[in-house]
Structure 1
Amino acid sequence: MFDANIFAERLQLLRKKANVSQKILSDHIGVSYHTISKIENKQRAASIEVITAIAEYFDVSLDYLTGRTDLPDITDKNKGLDITPEESELLEEFRLLNKYEQNIIVGKISEILYNKNIENRNMEMSEEIAEVDFKDRVNK
């Protein structure tokens, strides 16, 4: 659930950590200085467009900004999982899809893995048949 207090605190923290003024941030994301000030002082709710722009500017996840996680970005969540930057990017893009589109992608991946498994089994069976055939010929 979105927590406006956490969002305001994290926005201030990110801004100060990056040494970015409210004016610089507001100019960059296309809102007024007063909008940023009111958001940080919990006097105004931020639109999803503003939240997204802030996340992109500071290169953090929306989940972090909105209080759903304490990890600033997706790569931190995946530490210890040995995920490459390319895999992380794919995951981020996957999350942008709606559920229907995600199900299509998962279905395609399942189909590819199923076919790969069948190919591996066929290869193993072919190797076993060749080995038995070779032994039969040698033993004759």
Structure 2
Amino acid sequence: MFESKKPHNRIAELRKEKGLTLQQVADAIGVGNNTISRYENGKREPKLETWLKLASFFDVPVPYLQGVSDYTKQDEAELNKLRPLMFDKNGNPDWKIIEKVSVIEDALYSDDYSKRAFENARSIIDALFSKQPEEKSKYEDIIANSKYINGFNDLPEPVGTYNYILSIVSEMFFSAQNGDTVAKSCIKEIENMYFDKYDEHRVEEAHKKFIKSNNDEKNKPMSEHD
């Protein structure tokens, strides 16, 4: 969809359009003016928290600021016109329009998705380590320093992996509370490895086991359920 070469961001372009100095942008974001300069010339890559702050400051989507998309909030009007055209009166899809709608939606709303994931991660860290300020600060820095790796189509890492693991463990946890024995064994496995050596792949394997068990149960003939 996009060229593989790294695009040049629009930080300098937007700053100059608004008639702002490096220092003014730096003060608004909470970094040094030399840091803003390095962002502009590509010598330094902003972390997730900084991309979100910059996008909010300039009132543009993160992908537009990064230079990987040409869509801004002004394109929401075009999006609203395209959505009713995705299917004809007989319900047949127009894949070109559907693809364009998808591209614009990704460009306009991906930073909202990233912001929710970031805030979700921060709130959980705050709850887990509220009485351990040093640990809390360390883990908050890990999340804050997440970076966009594949443009804006995926959540930045490591916040993306963190949210993914939280979601699959939560699914198993609540199923275990409802009496699912396979989910209970999966949770027990995760609890055991927490005190050994954490391995995200073991979480995924436990989740696959849990999903397979659920699917096997659903596919049983009715007589086997009696």
TM-score category, normalised to shorter length = 0.5 to 0.7
**Match for residue 133 of structure 2?**
none
Task: Spell out, residue by residue over 1:40-88, the C-alpha distance to the aligned partner (whole angstroms, 9 max, x if none).
Answer: 1221111111111110001000121123320123x414425159xxxx9
1 CA distance for matches of 2:26 and 2:79? 36
Query: What 5-or-longer segments of structure 1 have no aligned partner?
Result: 101-140
Whether contact under 8 Å (1:63, 1:69) holds in the other structure is yes
Residue 26 (1) aligns with residue 22 (2): no
Provide the TM-score with structure 2 as the length reference.
Answer: 0.34
TM-score, reference length from structure 1? 0.52
Q: Percent identity?
A: 29
- Equivalent in the alignment of 1:79: 78
Structure (1 or 2) with the greater helix fraction: 1
> Counterpart of 2:8?
6
Distance, in Å, in 1 between the alignment partners of 2:6 and 2:48 is 12
> Larger radius of gyration, structure 1 or 2?
1
Q: Output the amino acid matched with 1:47.
A: K
The answer as to whether partners of 1:5 and 1:42 remain within 8 angstroms in 2 is no
Structure 2: runs of 5+ lacking an equivalent: 84-104, 118-162, 168-226
Map of 1:69 onto structure 2: 69
Corresponding residue SS for 1:79: helix
Aligned length: 91
Q: Hey, what does 1:54 align to over in structure 2?
A: 54
Considering Cα pairs closer than 8 Å and 6+ residues apart, tell me whether 1 or 2 has the greater RCO.
1
**CA 1:64–1:70 in 2, change beyond 3 Å: closer, same or farther?**
same
1:91-106 pair list within 5 angstroms: 92=109, 95=113, 96=116
Distance 1:64 1:41, change over 3 A: same
CA distance change for structure 1 residues 80 and 52 in 2, over 3 Å: closer, same or farther?
Answer: closer
